[in-house]
Amino acid sequence: DVPRVNGQLAVARAFGDQNLKAHLSSEPDVRLVQVNSGIEFVILASD
C-alpha cells in the first residue's frame, strides 16, 4: 500500500484533481543532464 492524498490520490502531482489542490505541489522535479553526441534519444515519462 502507498500513502494517498485524502485516501484517494496515490501520486505526487496531478492534473485535473482540483478538489485535492490544497494537498498537491505544482513544483516539478527538474534534472539537468548534459547532452553529448553519444546520447541518441531522451525519454520523458509520467504516470
pLDDT in tens, 1-47: 777 878 887 765 556 677 777 777 777 788 888 889 999 998 887 65
User: Would you state the pLDDT for residue 9?
Assistant: 75
Angle, CA of 9, 19 and 31, to the nearest 5°:
55
C-alpha cell at 40: 541518441
Task: Supply the pTM of this predicted model.
Answer: 0.31
User: Would you state the pLDDT for residue 37?
Assistant: 92
C-alpha cell at 18: 482540483
User: Would you state the pLDDT for residue 26?
Assistant: 72
